[in-house]
C-alpha cells in the first residue's frame, strides 16, 4: 500500500508558483542567524517554499477565526479565537529546528501585530537524574523519556488562552536547566517543534494531535539524515573542544576510531531505531511533508488531501 496515498505530491517548481512574490522578507544575515548547525537554507528556499507555506497557514488561521465567530453566533456569546498551533516533527538532524525558527519570523512579519511563540519539546524531557533513576538514560529521546502529561497540560493551557511556564533544555549541558523556565504568554500563534510532536501517549483522554491546527513533517532519506547527523556531531565536538563545561567535551579526548564507533552506535541504536519505531510512523499525520534531498535542498512537498 502506498504510504502517501492520502497526499498530493507537489514538485518544488509547482509549489513555488502557488504563491508568487519577488520580495524576500529576510536578508542573508537574518537567515544565517536562524539556520541551525550544519543546516543549509537559502533566500530562494524562503521565496520558493516557505512563503507559499505561510500563505497556506494564513488560510488555516482564517478558518480558525471564522469557526470561532460562527460558534459564538450559535452559542449567543463571544468566543475568543484560540491560538493557531503548528506542530513540526521529523528525525534528529533533519533541520526541523531551522524550519521552526524560520516560520516564526515569517509568520510574525506576515501577520503584523500577531504574537508568535516557539517552544521545543526538549523542555519536556525528564531530567538526566530522573531518567537515570528510572534506568532509561540510554533511551533519552524515546517516548518514555518525555513527561507527556506535562506537555499535554501545556497545550491545553495554550488552547484555553492561559499563560504557562515550561522547563528549559540545554543541548550544551545535555540536560534540563535547573530553576530556569520559559514563559509563554497566550500567543496568537504557537509553533511546537520536536521529534515527538505527532506521537500520542498511551491511555490518555486527550491526544497531542487534538491540539494542532496544522502540522509539518520534515523528511529525507535515512542515509542522508545519517550523513547530516555525523556532520552535526563533528561540529558539536569542535565547538566543545575548549569548553570543559560542555557535555560533548568529554568525547573530544577520544581517538578518531573511538569517536567513529560512538557515532555509529548512537545512530544505529538510538536515532535510527527511534526514527523507525516512533518518529516515521507518525509522518502521515502531518498536513504537509517537506522532503529534502542532498544539502538540505527541498525538492518536493506532500499536501494531505483530506
Helices (DSSP H) in 185-283: which residue ranges?
Answer: 222-240, 256-266, 272-274
72 is an annotated ligand-binding site residue: no
End-to-end CA separation in angstroms for the chain = 18
Q: Which residue has the cell 499563560?
A: 163
**DSSP 3-state of 173:** coil
HSE of 146, CA atoms in CB hemisphere, 13 A? 23
Q: How many of the other CB atoms lie within 10 Å of CB of 281? A: 13
288 is an annotated ligand-binding site residue: no
Which residue, among 305, 281, 301, has the nearest Cα to 291 in the 3D structure?
301
CA dist., res. 224 & res. 266, Å (int): 16
What phi, psi does 280 have (nearest 5°)? -60, -35
**DSSP 3-state of 76:** coil
The answer to whether the CB of 195 falls within 8 A of the CB of 281 is: no
92 is an annotated ligand-binding site residue: yes
How far lies 150's CA from each of 52, 111, 147, in Å? 34, 30, 5
CA dist., res. 189 & res. 185, Å (int): 11
Which residue, among 186, 111, 110, 175, has the nearest Cα to 140 in the 3D structure?
175
CA dist., res. 202 & res. 207, Å (int): 9
95 is an annotated ligand-binding site residue: yes
264 is an annotated ligand-binding site residue: no
227 is an annotated ligand-binding site residue: no
Binding residues for ATP: 90-97
Binding residues: 90-97
Amino acid at each position: 500500500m502506498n504510504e502517501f496515498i492520502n497526499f498530493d505530491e507537489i514538485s518544488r517548481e509547482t509549489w513555488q508558483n502557488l504563491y508568487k512574490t519577488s520580495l524576500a522578507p529576510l536578508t542573508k544575515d537574518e537567515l544565517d542567524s536562524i539556520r541551525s548547525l550544519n543546516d543549509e537554507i537559502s533566500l530562494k528556499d524562503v521565496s520558493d517554499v516557505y512563503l507559499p507555506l505561510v500563505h497556506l497557514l494564513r488560510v488555516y488561521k482564517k478558518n480558525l477565526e471564522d469557526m470561532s465567530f460562527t460558534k459564538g453566533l450559535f452559542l449567543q456569546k463571544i468566543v475568543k479565537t484560540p491560538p493557531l498551533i503548528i506542530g513540526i516533527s521529523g528525525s534528529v538532524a533533519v533541520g526541523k529546528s531551522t524550519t521552526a525558527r524560520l516560520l516564526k519570523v515569517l509568520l510574525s512579519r506576515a501577520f503584523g501585530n500577531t504574537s508568535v511563540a516557539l517552544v521545543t519539546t526538549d523542555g519536556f524531557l525528564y531530567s538526566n537524574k530522573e531518567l537515570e533513576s528510572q534506568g532509561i538514560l540510554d533511551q533519552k529521546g524515546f517516548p518514555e523519556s518525555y513527561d507527556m502529561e506535562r506537555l499535554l497540560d501545556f497545550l491545553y493551557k495554550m488552547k484555553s488562552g492561559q499563560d504557562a511556564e515550561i522547563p528549559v533544555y540545554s543541548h550544551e549541558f545535555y540536560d534540563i536547566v535547573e530553576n530556569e523556565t520559559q514563559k509563554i504568554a497566550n500567543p496568537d500563534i504557537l509553533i511546537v517543534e520536536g521529534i515527538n510532536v505527532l506521537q500520542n501517549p498511551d491511555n490518555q483522554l486527550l491526544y497531542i494531535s487534538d491540539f494542532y491546527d496544522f502540522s509539518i513533517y520534515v523528511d529525507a532519506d535515512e542515509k542522508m539524515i545519517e550523513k547530516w547527523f555525523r556532520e552535526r556531531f563533528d561540529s558539536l565536538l569542535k565547538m566543545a573542544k575548549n569548553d570543559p563545561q560542555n557535555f560533548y567535551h568529554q568525547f573530544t579526548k577520544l581517538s578518531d576510531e573511538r569517536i567513529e564507533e560512538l557515532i555509529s552506535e548512537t545512530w544505529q541504536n538510538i536515532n535510527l531505531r527511534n526514527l523507525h519505531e516512533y518518529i516515521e510512523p507518525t509522518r502521515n499525520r502531518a498536513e504537509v511533508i517537506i522532503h529534502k534531498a542532498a544539502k538540505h535542498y527541498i525538492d518536493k512537498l506532500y499536501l494531505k488531501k483530506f
